[in-house]
Structure 1
Amino acid sequence: MILTGNLQMAEPTRDDIVASAPIRIGGVTLVVRDLERTSRFYRDVVGLEPIGKEGHALHLGLDGRVLLSLRHDPDALANPPQSAGLYHIAFLLPSRNDLGAWVNHAHRTGIRLAGASDHVISEAVYLADPEGNGIEIYADRPSSSWKRIQEVIQMGVGPLDLQELSRSTTLTWNGMPAGGTVGHVHLQVGDIGSADSFYGELLGFKINAAAPTVSFYSTGGYHHQLAGNTWQSAGAGVRGEGTAGLAEVELLLRDSATLAAITTRLTDSDKPPLDEGRSLSIFDPWNIRLSLTCAPMALGRI
């Protein structure tokens, strides 16, 4: 399947293409009912390190960077599969070698996989956490190898040879490697038109690739930092309060000019962000919370 859309491409190297983008993913917050079991999964399976606890929230990540916060609410309602919210959190590994090491780790420890795909621009393995939140573990191919047609990065869905991947690695999995990060977040939305208006027109993402039931949103020449689909959630309304699952996605902005431009577009559309001190908060059409933080980062580091 080749997806089409419209994207003005930059040409950063593979090393800085994620870190140099005007908008990148920071951390993701999930509401969970069983904190002990879920946090153990993200430590033992995904390889994140506990960073600290704040109230009812446990923070996990790497090298002091919070990539995931688990907010404990044992009374939270189960998140229906047809609702708007999270499709998957995608953890980006630095290399194919690292992905092969993780696949061996999954085989060795009996981790149940939901699927695996060769997306042309990346190779990815899919699974779910104990509360049903989707997870992707992936590694990009070098951006110089990505095929572009009329400035559109060509993505696809094909089989991934896990045996070859596991045989080819020279590494042993010892937890999330240095440079690991959240590469993108894929959402379930109620309709694509509203998602395109919000994430494209208001937040300023380019629609890199699109089909009637899915759009991929990109900045800085990356294939996508966000995506939205209606595969299970067509017609979904706003997320209810007190529901388990996705609570917040943090968007890190490269500079104050990017933040100011987004703020102006939101304010002009009568959707001004909420000032919460260190960040601004906004809500998409399905009440999915996004925090905007101006957080410059040195190029070449994720």
Structure 2
Amino acid sequence: MTYRTDPRTAVGHIHLRVSDIDRAITFYSEVMGFELQQRYGAGAAFLSAGGYHHHIGLNTWDSKGGSAPPPGHTGLYHAAFLYPDRAALARALKAVIEAGVPIDGAADHGVSEAVYSRDPDGNGIEIYRDRPEAEWPRDATGALRMVNDPLDLKALLEEA
């Protein structure tokens, strides 16, 4: 390998094509709790946590009234939102459930705890929290050993 990305690099934001901008803004603000930072005309919006310029961009420029891609096609698998700790993840999960959003799955990956759902346009959403790196599962050689074990949602919700 001739190049490695700087280890300080992070994913800055996602930008999603949606079919209905107002419905998408409502989902990401009222269900997911992000704050609307700016509307860009009638076809785009930018939302964030904590006043950042945007973590989520939404637009209907090429997708107004469109449908979700059918199964078996390429595209976004999910957007993942990292919460700072288990209590914050629990509060986010509680908001999603109270909004009536179906949960697609949940997993304990050893390195993280994750819950999966979908936005109104069918885009996959993951809400998760990382465990401290010192707790990540490793084999005898020190190599990372992620798992896909069940996550106890009831126990998680008790921390909300």
Both structures adopt the same fold (TM-score exceeding 0.5): yes
Please identify, of 107-116 and 24-33, the stretch whose mean Cα deviation from structure 2 is larger: 107-116
Query: 2: CA distance between counterparts of 1:142 and 1:38?
Result: 33
Report 1:123-202 matches (<5 A). 123-149=113-139, 150-167=141-158, 169=159, 171=160
**Higher-strand-fraction structure:** 1
Match of 1:100, SS state, is helix
Equivalent residue in structure 2 for 1:97, among 82, 87, 100: 87
CA distance in 1, matches of 2:72, 2:64: 22
Q: RCO higher in 1 or 2 (8 Å CA, sep ≥ 6)? A: 1
Within the candidate set 31, 35, 40, 1:45 is matched to 31
Match of 2:10 among 3, 19, 24: 24
Decide whether aligned partners of structure 1 residues 75 and 138 sit closer, same or farther in structure 2, where only a CA change above 3 A counts: same
Q: SS at 1:30's partner residue?
A: strand
Q: Could you say which structure has the larger radius of gyration?
A: 1
CA deviation after TM superposition for structure 1 residue 39, in Å: 1.5
Identity across the alignment (%): 38
1:258 aligned partner: none
Q: 1:143 to 1:75 in 2, by over 3 A?
A: same
**Amino acid aligned to 1:50:** L
**What's the CA shift for 1:84?**
1.5
* 2:24 is the alignment partner of 1:34: no
Task: Choose which of 53, 60, 67 in structure 1 pairs with 2:47.
Answer: 60
Q: CA deviation at 1:94?
A: 0.3
Residue 35 of structure 1: CA displacement?
1.1
Query: Mapping of 1:1-302 within 5 angstroms?
Result: 21-55=7-41, 56-62=43-49, 63-72=51-60, 73-74=63-64, 76=66, 78-149=68-139, 150-167=141-158, 169=159, 171=160
CA displacement, residues 113-172 of structure 1 (integer Å, 9 cap, x when unaligned): 1111111111111100011000000011111111233453221111111111111x2x5x
Distance 1:28 1:106, change over 3 A: closer
Change (3 A) 1:96 1:61: same
- Per the alignment, residue 248 of structure 1 pairs with none
Structure 1: gaps of 5 or more residues: 1-19, 172-302
**Take 1:77 and 1:132, find their aligned partners in 2: how far apart are those partners?**
9
How far apart, in 2, do the equivalents of 1:165 and 1:78 lie? 30
What is the deviation of 1:78? 4.1
Secondary structure in structure 1 of the residue aligned to 2:55: strand
The AA in structure 2 aligned to 1:31 is R
- Deviations 1:83-138, CA, capped at 9 Å, x for gaps: 21100000000000111222232333333111111111111111000110000000
Aligned residues: 150
Compute the RMSD of aligned alpha carbons. 1.9
Match of 1:178 in 2: none
Q: Secondary structure at the match of 1:164?
A: helix
Deviations 1:36-73 (A, max 9, x none): 11221111121111011224321011222311110113
Cα 1:109–1:78 change in 2 (3 A) is: closer
